Amino acid sequence: MRRNSVLAMVALCAAGALHAETMDRMVLSRGGVVLEVSAPASGIMRIRMGRGTLPEDASWAVPAAARRTRLPLNVTRGSDVLQLSAAHIGARIDMRTLRVDVLDGVGKLLLADLAGRSALSGEGGFRMRGRMSGDDHVFGLGDKTGTFDRKGGAYTMWNSDTYKFTQATDPLYKTIPFFMTVSDRGQAYGLFLDNTWRTTFDFGKTERGMLSISGEGGPVDYYVMAGPAPKDVLQQYARLTGTPPLMPQWALGFQQSKWSYKTDAEVRAIAQRLRSERMPSDVVYMDIDYQDRSRPFTVNGATFPDMRKLATDLRGQGIRLVLITDPHVANAPGQGYAAYDGGAARDLFLKLPGGQYYSGDVWPGAAVFPDFSRVQARRWWGDLYAGFVGDGVAGFWNDMNEPSIFNVPSKTMPLDVVHRIESDDFAPRSTSHAEMHNVYGQLNSRATYEGLARLQPDVRPFVLTRATYAGGQRYAATWTGDNVSSWQHLKTGMQQLVNLGLSGFSWVGNDVGGYAGEPPSPELLTRWFQLGAFMPLFRAHAETGRPDQEPWVGDAVQVEIRRRFISERYRLLPYLYATAEENSRSGIPLLRPVFLNFPSVLANGDRLGGSEDQFMVGGDLLLAPSPTLESPGDYNVELPGKDWYDYWTGRRLDGKSQTVKPDIAQLPVYVRPGAIIPKQPLVQSTAFVPEGRLELHVYPGADCHGDLYADDGISMAYQRGSFLRQHIRCEESQSGLKILFEQREGSWRPWWSGVELYIHGWESDAPPEVHAFGAAVAASVDRAQKAALIQVPDMVNGSVEISRSR
C-alpha cells in the first residue's frame, strides 16, 4: 500500500471510531519521522524508522526473500492508537509519538517502547529505550565476556582484535546484535538490530530496569521475535538470518593447530605422531609461516617444496590440511605477487578519500585490503583459492579480518576509508569504513565460502573466521580468538560458546589449552581436552614461542586421559552428526544451555538453574564441570529432573541432586531419561569406515526417542536425497520395552549391517526375552554398564520387543 494512501486513511480516522482492515505493512509519519511495521514471518515483527524517509531495505544479514515476505496485518484503528496483529505477534502504535509496543500472539506486552520518534537524533544517530521485566535474563550478543546472563551489563558492537582478552574486555571480535530474554517461567522473546555501525546495548547498567540500544549511525531496523519458548526464538531468528550449512563430517573431528608448524617435515611429524599415539584426528592447520614472507596465497618453496604431495600424503593418513589466508594482501606492486597484481588490475582494494589505496601494516608489512562489499571483489578473492584446492587443501581459515591493523591506536583502519557497495539488493553507492567495519569479516568469509563452492560445487566448503556479523553463520565456523591458558578462560570460554550458539553460530570452539600467556599446567591442559571433546569445533591451538601443548605432551597418565576423551568423541560421532544435521535445518545449536532444553530450570534461581556452569550437547547429554574448575572441593549438581543416567557407567541415578568429588580423570556427563544415543566403533579419522555394528544406547524414560542421520559426510549429494534419516522411539510398559524403528528416509546405504542395542538401567542379572521381526533374538547382560545387550539386523523399519522377565 502506498504511503500517501495510508496517511490519508489515518487522517480520516481522527473522529476516533474504531474500524478494522488488513494490509501488508503499516507506514506512518509524524514530525518528519517515518515508521514502518510489518510481519515477515509468523511470530516476527519488523520495525523500521527514518528521518524524512525510511532507511534502505537492504541487509548483509537478512536475505531479500526473508525481508520481502509480508504476512497480512490486521489493523484496528482508534483516535490515537493503532492495534496490529499478525500470526502469533502483534503491536500497539501511539500515532502521536510513534511509540511501538510489541505484543505476543495473545496480546501480552513483550517489549515496551519508551522513545518512539524521539529515538532519532538530529546528528544521524539513535537511542531506543524499553522497560525490562524484573525476572528476565538476557543471552546472546555472540562471544562477549562478562557474566553469562547479560542483564546488568553494557556491550559495544565493534569488531576488535583483542589479544589476551579478559573478563572485562569489550568489544571483542564479532558483532552479532541479537539477544534473547528468558523469564524465570521460561518464556522468551528476541530482538535483532540489523545495523552494521558501532552500536551499544545496555541492559540496565546505566539505568536500572531499562534496556537502551544506541548507535552512532545507520538505520533503525529491528526485528522482534515472540517465541514464546527459547527454541522458538532461535528458530525465528534462523528464519531471518539463515541456518549454518551442514559442514563436512570431518569438521567434527579433532583438529591440531599451532602458530606455526614451519616446515613440511614438521607437519608430517605432527601427523605421524597423532597416528602413532592413537590420537584420533582429522585436521592439521598451517598458520602464516607456510607462506612466502607472510603473504596470503603464496607458499614458501624452501620449507614447503610440494604442497600437493604433502596434502595427498596426509589425506592417505586420514588427515586434511586447513590453511590460513588473511585478508591483508601485501602492498607489493611490481614484485610479481599475483594476489596484489590481480586485485590492483581490477581496482578491487579499499581506498582513502583522496583515491589512493589505503595501506596498513600487518604480518606481511604494508598491506592493502579487498573491498568485499563488491561482488566482483568477492568473486576475485574466491577464485584465488583455485591453486590450493587443486593441491588438495581441504579448508581455509580467515583470520585478522576485524580488520586488524598494527601500529595504530585504533587497531583497525581509519573510519573514512571508502567502500563501494555493489552487492545483493543494495543500491550502488560509496560509504565509509564506519558503516562497513563490523561486516568486513563476514564478507571476507562469504567470499571464501562462495569461491570454494564454485571451485568444487559438489564438495561442502569449510571456512573458519575470527570476525563476523549476524548471518555469517551461513558461511563459516568461528572461534573465540586469542584466549589465555588459565582456568578462568576455560570457564569463560564455555560460556562464550553457549552464547554464540544462542546467537545463531553453532559451529564454534575455542583454542584448546589456551593460545597465549603462561603455558597450561598438565591438569589444565587435560581438563581443556575433556571439555573440548564436547565442543562443536574441537581445535587445539597455541601461539609461537610457547612450550608444546599437543595432546601427547606430559606424563603418561595425563596423555591417556586426553586420548580417552578424544576417542569418546569419535565414538559419539553418529550422535554429534545427527545433531549437526538438525542444526542445519532448525538453527537449534549443538551446544546448549540447560534452559534451552528445560526452560523451567531458570525458576530454580541458583546459578540460572545450573545453566551458568552446566551445558548440554544436543538434547540428551548434560555436562556438569565444577563451578570452580581448579578447585578440588566437592560440588553439587542439580539435574533438570529425576531418573537421569550416568553416561560413563550407564547407571540410573536416584534423585535430582548429585554430589561430585572432582577427579582429573573424570568429567561428569549425564543422559536424559528417554534418550536414544547412537555410537560407533572407534576410528582414527572420519575418513576411515567403522567396522562392526552401530550401537544404540537406550535410556528408558518419558518421551523416549532418538534420531539417526548419515550420508557420505563430504559431498552435496545429501541435498539430492542421498542420506539416511530415521526416527527411533521406545515405549515402556509394565511387561517390558518396545523399540520402534520408523520408516527411513533417503537413499544412503549405511556402513553398518547390524545394530547392537544397549538397554540401560537393566537391574536383573538375567537377560531379557527379545523378539525382532517376530522371531526370538538372543540377549545378554553387561553388568558393569547395567545394560541388556541385544544384537539385531539393521532395522530399516520395524520393532524390537523386550520382556522384563523370562
402 is catalytic: yes
Helix, strand, or coil here: 607? helix
Contacts of 211 (CB under 8 A, 6+ apart): 129, 130, 131, 132, 201, 202, 203, 204
Q: Where are the alpha helices (DSSP H) in 395-521?
A: 433-436, 440-455, 487-501
- Contact between residue 102 and residue 43 where contact means Cβ atoms under 8 Å apart: no
Rounded Cα gap, residues 732 and 701, in angstroms: 8
Active-site residue, 399 included: yes
Q: Answer whether 78's CB lies under 8 Å from 18's CB.
A: yes
Q: What is the DSSP pairing of strand 320-324 with strand 283-286?
A: parallel
Q: Measured between alpha carbons, how far is 788 from 798 in angstroms, rounded to an integer?
A: 20
Q: Which of 36, 161, 184, 402 is catalytic?
A: 402
Give which of 135, 158, 22, 4 is closest to 77, Cα–Cα.
Answer: 22
Helix/strand/coil for 473: helix
- Cα–Cα distance, 515 to 574 (Å, whole number): 30
Cell numbers of 651, please? 547407571
As a whole number of angstroms, the distance between CA 605 and CA 595 comes to 12
Query: Of 121, 112, 132, whose CA–CA distance to 206 is shortest?
Result: 132
Q: Which three cell numbers stand for residue 344?
A: 590492483
Q: Which of 482, 511, 568, 801 is catalytic?
A: 482
Distance between CA 554 and CA 509 in Å, rounded? 23
Treating both helix axes as pointing N-terminal to C-terminal, what angle do 522-532 and 487-501 enclose, rounded to 10 degrees?
A: 10
Q: Read off the C-alpha cell for 551.
A: 595432546
Q: What is the 3-state secondary structure (H, E, C) of 282-338?
A: CEEEECHHHCCCCCCCCCCCCCCCCHHHHHHHHHHCCCEEEEECCCCEECCCCCCCH
- Written as one letter, the residue type at 658 is Q
Q: Residue 799: exposed, middle, or buried by beta-carbon count in 10 A (0-12, 13-18, 19+)?
A: middle
Candidate list 136, 221, 399, 581, residue with the active-site label? 399
How far apart (Å, rounded) are the C-alpha atoms in residues 432 and 418?
Answer: 5
Give the DSSP per-residue string, 200-252: EEEESSSSTTEEEEEESSS-EEEEEE--SSHHHHHHHHHHHH-PPP---GGGG
Q: Cα–Cα distance between 634 and 378 in angstroms, integer?
A: 54
Strand arrangement, sheet containing 591-592: 591-592, 615-617, 621-623, 669-671, 645-646
- Interaxial angle between packed helices 522-532 and 556-571, expressed in degrees from 0 to 180 and rounded to the nearest 10: 10
Cα-based distances in Å from 94 to 102, 105, 113, 345: 12, 19, 10, 55
Tallying the residues shown for the chain, one arrives at 806
Residue 106 CB contacts under 8 Å (≥ 6 apart), including other chains:
none
The distance from CA 577 to its chain's CA centroid, rounded to whole angstroms, is 15
Grid cell locating 453: 563452492
Direct distance between the N- and C-terminal alpha carbons of the chain, in angstroms, rounded to an integer: 73
- Grid cell in block for residue 278: 592413537
For residue 479 the three cell numbers come to: 572461534
711 is catalytic: no
Residue 541 CA, chain-centre distance (Å), reads 19
The single residue listed with the C-alpha cell 603455558 is 519
Give the catalytic positions in this structure: 399, 402, 482
